[in-house]
Structure 1
């Protein structure tokens, strides 16, 4: 009976430790550059051996990719109805501007701290394309990713101006005029893509 109980608890303990490693990586990557962040530092934050970090994630690049995806949370942004997509994306853009999670990591914090690294930039491109642009294009019902990429650029650009540069006119909180304007802009991009795919009469 004791061995059976251990067999059930061991996987849960491993998952919990993996989650703690990921949380520590999110904090590290959001506060310092990709080059300055080492797996040994992350392992020390969680009080595990660096070899265990390698077993869980394989490499620094894969851990970085997991941290980016966990912060972007594409499953929450794209999980609703297609007709509500513009409103959902606009709401989340302003709702999470102050950061979320126990360490108040904002979605763009990791991106901003990693742009100076060619390796990190490549991983960022791959994660954003695979985890956000491609699913967004699929949700909109089109194989062409142009409109999905434009939506992503609008959200990211507004987020950088708002939360990183602190542009004053963009500091309005959720539920205000800015959110309504962003919803209208996103709806327009989606509608223009719909019109472009319709055959000429």
Structure 2
């Protein structure tokens, strides 16, 4: 986005610069994960116009109570096979909780690849991360879930959405949610088995 702004010589206001800089910071885990030269250059360009107080406020407010609950469920529901971890965050209304849980669980000793999924409205949402240089997590997630929804991503991070249609569990229907969850665990581990 920053490259487009610069190439088209569009004006950059404080609000846009702040939002873009926060997005770069968030997606690179504070410039610690897979940062490219283009991202460093974009951050440098945005820094002069960004509101530093707003950036600090955003950095200090990483998640809501709903996000914390979803991360907690992912921690409790984690399953590990070798260096791979798959976890259910359960039912949540905050999509952003899933990548945060995937990032957090990637810090577990011995784990180099994570897949976290959750039920949001009438779909399963997935977020995946890897530090294993032999795994292209975008291709793994696409192979496992793209036939039933939309899934894919980059070498180190990926995501997807699988509509449940008539199989959408109600909040009170733990049996259907359990059956669907078992299918997701199975698909994810099957797709990852070569690298676990």
TM-score by length of structure 2 reads: 0.35
Higher relative contact order (CA 8 A, sep 6+): 1
TM-score by length of structure 1 reads: 0.34
Larger Rg: 1
